[in-house]
């Protein structure tokens, strides 16, 4: 049986039935700063238990020098355990953990492990995501058409910029708002340009692009899950998972662009009316999530749908008034939204409101000890 206290995975030992459980005990030992050397079905050593109890602000000796009861673990101070988690990087060989009732996968000891590289999914996340998709549409059009760079040159410039920013992002060991959201902005531009190159440069029909990117996204998800056993963005703590994450984001932007443009081609709606369809679909996904649909599926559906929503908002703001738009132009729309993104990112950098570790700590402190899930 596995228990989570303050974000650290541990094993409650009454009767240790099998050797693999000893690996789980090592997780607790290493969290406490002691290397457990048990190789049999015996529980973790007395020294490791003592260190763990000290880290969790417990007093008195453990019975028989082992972690013997669920009450012992539940008595651990969540704040102290969280602090221990931050001080000590967990390394586990078995690769499995239970996180508030949902099984996820820990990184093997041989991999480079980090704090989660993706922000907490809050209202700020969705605001910036929609703003980024709008910029991806308007800024790409401005550079390509207004400045006259051309589709190929624009694609090369933004692709090089994206690679440079992703190199910086991958070198970080935790989520940094400025770098992360700059990468998202550039991914939105490059994802838009991928579809534009297929449609305008090669002449591929939008329905074909939509089908191709749908299959590509399904393939990425399949390989990601087969390798990591999770698609959750709350577990982006290793380089392979981060690579899968950014590849998925790129494909979702390309898919959202193709599907959104194809829908407009079929319906012939104006820029203003076209906002309503993705907005309605996102509301349906939100309702499904509220009614108990899978959070991972709902997240990625909403992530895809925000692309046509943001693009349609961008088209509405940039279009001339006699075409039913707001008349801001591609430059005005890009400046407005880039400025808004910058303001929100600065706010998040100062307040840390979208950091996963901060959100987990608040949740632990707000949950009564007796109500924590096994």
Quote the crossing angle between the two packed helices 177-196 and 329-351, to the nearest 10°: 150
- Count of beta carbons in the 10 Å neighbourhood of residue 41: 14
Give pLDDT tens digits for 307-359: 889 888 888 888 888 877 888 888 888 899 999 999 999 999 999 888 865 55
Cα angle: 218, vertex 223, 227; to 5 degrees: 145
Could you tell me the pLDDT band of residue 223, with boundaries at 50, 70 and 90? very high
Judge whether residue 191 has pLDDT over 80. yes
For 330, the token pair is 């591609």
Q: Are 68 and 14 in contact (CB under 8 A)?
A: yes
Segment (H or E) for 360: helix 356-366
pLDDT at res. 107: 42
Q: How far is CA 260 from the centre of its chain?
A: 23
Out of 205-214, 283-292, 314-323, which region has the weakest mean confidence (pLDDT)? Answer: 314-323
Is the pTM for the entire model greater than 0.85? no
Radius of gyration for the chain, computed over Cα atoms and rounded to the nearest angstrom = 24
96 has which bridge partners?
Answer: 105
Whole-angstrom CA distances from 308 to 152, 228, 279, 360 are 23, 29, 9, 31
DSSP letter assigned to residue 44 = P
């Amino acid at each position: 049986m596995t228990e989570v206290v303050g974000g650290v995975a541990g094993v409650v030992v009454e009767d240790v039935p099998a050797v693999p459980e000893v690996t789980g005990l090592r997780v607790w030992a290493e969290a406490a700063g002691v290397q457990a050397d048990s190789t049999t079905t015996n529980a973790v050593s007395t020294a490791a238990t003592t260190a763990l109890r000290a880290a969790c602000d417990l007093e008195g000796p453990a019975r028989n020098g082992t972690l013997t009861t669920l009450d012992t673990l539940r008595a651990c101070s969540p704040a102290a355990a969280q602090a221990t988690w931050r001080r000590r990087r967990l390394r586990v060989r078995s690769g499995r953990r239970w996180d508030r009732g949902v099984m996820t996968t820990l990184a093997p000891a041989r991999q480079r492990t980090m704090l989660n590289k993706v922000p907490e999914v809050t209202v700020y996340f969705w605001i910036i995501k929609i703003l980024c998709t709008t910029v991806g549409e308007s800024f790409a059009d401005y550079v390509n058409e207004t400045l006259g760079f051309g589709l190929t040159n624009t694609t090369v410039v933004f692709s090089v910029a994206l690679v440079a920013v992703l190199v910086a992002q991958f070198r970080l060991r935790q989520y940094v708002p400025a770098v992360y959201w700059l990468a998202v902005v550039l991914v939105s531009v490059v994802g838009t340009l991928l579809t534009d190159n297929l449609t305008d440069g090669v002449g591929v029909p939008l329905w074909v692009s939509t089908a191709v990117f749908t299959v590509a996204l399904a393939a990425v998800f399949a390989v990601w899950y087969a390798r990591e056993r999770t698609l959750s963005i709350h577990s982006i703590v290793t380089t392979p998972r981060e690579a899968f994450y950014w590849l998925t984001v790129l494909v979702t932007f390309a898919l959202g662009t193709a599907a959104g443009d194809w829908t407009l081609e079929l319906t012939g709606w104006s820029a203003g009316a076209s906002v309503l369809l993705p907005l309605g679909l996102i509301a349906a996904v939100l309702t499904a999530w509220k009614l108990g649909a899978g959070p991972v599926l709902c997240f990625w559906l909403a992530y895809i749908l925000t692309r046509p929503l943001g693009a349609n908002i961008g088209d509405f703001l940039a279009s001339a008034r006699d075409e039913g738009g707001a008349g801001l132009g591609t430059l005005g729309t890009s400046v407005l939204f880039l400025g808004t993104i910058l303001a929100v990112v600065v706010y998040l950098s100062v307040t840390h409101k979208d950091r996963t570790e901060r959100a987990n700590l608040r949740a632990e402190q707000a949950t009564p000890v007796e109500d924590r899930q096994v």
